[in-house]
Copies of this chain bind each other. A is one copy, B any other.
């Protein structure tokens, strides 16, 4: 059965609406604004008070949802989900929302995050007679709810979530209510807003901006928010011993115009990372350029602090398609060229500082450095990374490779510098990172310090071996 749970790592975006005559349309717009959190597929489930309506497909939000499909989603409440593209990943059956009929009616779920004990729970549920139709760990939650003996569906959800461990920002749709829950550590963001008297809930606030909704507050770690004809009710269903907001949301995942984790501006954080990085590792240079788009604010911060020229030395092609046909005759740096092209006029014979968000395997950084040097004609290439070295895989919802594949888990910075052929390479220090984030003790920084706030799954031990070596 292990094969079923191969691709559990998935960052996603979720969006829900209660009490709006165009609920599905707003979810569509919300998912569109959250498209950066998942491009494999998307789905919307609406309820008209009695019947559920579901549309989902592989592809991008704006391609999937035609006017015809939106019309097939009547009702004043709806939830939606963007799925992240995972290698070889499950296809349509794993695109959410998942909908199930159970003893108390029908329930739909949209899940951002990753459970770490899903495998074990699934084995137990199967032993007890459950059948699984997707390979998504979110289906486990539906089974737990269905098996609960509680009469009240809210109690059932609470009971179910007490059994699971891991990261989850969840939206549930019932016949006539919308429910949002965030795991007790609050790993993934989830915010509440309001528009035209309706409630909206989104992974990031950039989705509120598009539809003109006003931010109210975050769903709190361990909180269940129930929205129905009685308005919004809050129940604390899980005790939150510590918080573990994902620091990588600031570094890479969230959109810069979003405000997450109690309304901190992502763009501001990124710019400060760049500023701090300059404090730590400034070098003499003619120009500071970002690897677009995630490196942009940090590069601006870096240049500002260092009083250096900032410019766009790498131009991004915005029309990247799903599948790309590579010519047989190998083209140098092909994989990177599809996305980026250097501006020779800016780089020729210059000392260049390149700012990127992180280094994972090192192969892309190597291609970028070479391209800046060979095509751009740079004299020196100084790579600056606005996060600490990535040494640990994420088990809470971001798709990272195994520890063995993370170059920084087994190589010191000088070795990485040689590999990527940069003149110098510096990372942001973990202390520097923590000096910027407010209340850094509330964040998960496991990917930088192996300090996992939640136990990691036993079947992932092989991914972790270097820790114990």
Contacts and interface: CB of A to CB of B under 8 A. Distances in A.
A192 interface: no
B325 A132 contact: no
Contact of A66 (B29, B63, B255, B323): B323
Copies in the complex: 4
A325 B322 CA distance: 23
B321 A196 contact: no
A22 B328 contact: yes
A438 interface: no
Contacts of A304: 309
A344 interface: yes
Contacts of A456: none
Interface stretch (A96-104, A222-230, A244-252): A96-104
Secondary structure class of chain A's binding surface, majority of residues: mixed
Contacts of A206: 315, 341
A210 interface: yes
Interface stretch (A329-337, A382-390, A403-411): A329-337
B315 A132 contact: no
Contacts of A129: 102-103, 130, 143, 146-148
A47 to B, nearest CB: 13
Given A28-B325, A257-B342, A131 B105 contact: no
B315 A318 contact: no
Interface in A292-325: 293, 296-297, 300, 304, 309-312, 315, 317-325
A403 to B, nearest CB: 27
A437 interface: no
Closest 10 CB pairs of A and B: A62-B321, A129-B147, A100-B131, A265-B345, A103-B126, A35-B319, A257-B315, A101-B132, A131-B146, A25-B327
Given A39-B319, A267-B345, A318-B318, 19 more contacts: A4-B101, A22-B328, A26-B327, A36-B318, A36-B319, A62-B320, A63-B322, A66-B323, A67-B325, A102-B130, A102-B132, A103-B127, A129-B146, A130-B146, A206-B341, A210-B338, A210-B341, A257-B341, A268-B345
